[in-house]
Structure 1
């Protein structure tokens, strides 16, 4: 049961990151607003974020499927830096504290919990 919870949370988080990446590629302006910092009409940097998130999500799924829980745990531990950095970026650029902490920081904590659970498998 514990193993299923650890893998299940990690899979859901990675699929969510794939979704976020795809959304930044397909709806960059709306995605930026949801991120917490409004964007202009130049979407190149938003596409970069989309590719980053999409590739991290796919990498996480591949590691879980082909390398196991330990590799997935290390990946989740490292990738937790992204939502932590996103928290700071939103705060430093006049974004909502609710989004910074309620979305990005909460995501970082959840990813760290997922990493810890995978290390325990």
Structure 2
């Protein structure tokens, strides 16, 4: 049971790391860079088979929140204002993730002791 928990936790942490890398790349370089064009190729608006559905899931787990968030913020607020708002959203998401991680850790410690 602990092996399954460890594997799932590891995969979630990897997905979060990809989200943060994507967020940083968009914040630093904007939407017109090779990494952004590479990320956009993973999502299919109308998936036809299991591979397209899997790639959509992969996109959402690893890049989707950072990419879609950046696109929405920059469509509404252009330039430095949009980048600052996006940085604020990333900071807010980080604070929320830290709070949730602390709650989960406290529950885990209670269950294992």
What is the TM-score when the length of structure 2 is the normalising length?
0.39
What is the TM-score when the length of structure 1 is the normalising length?
0.37
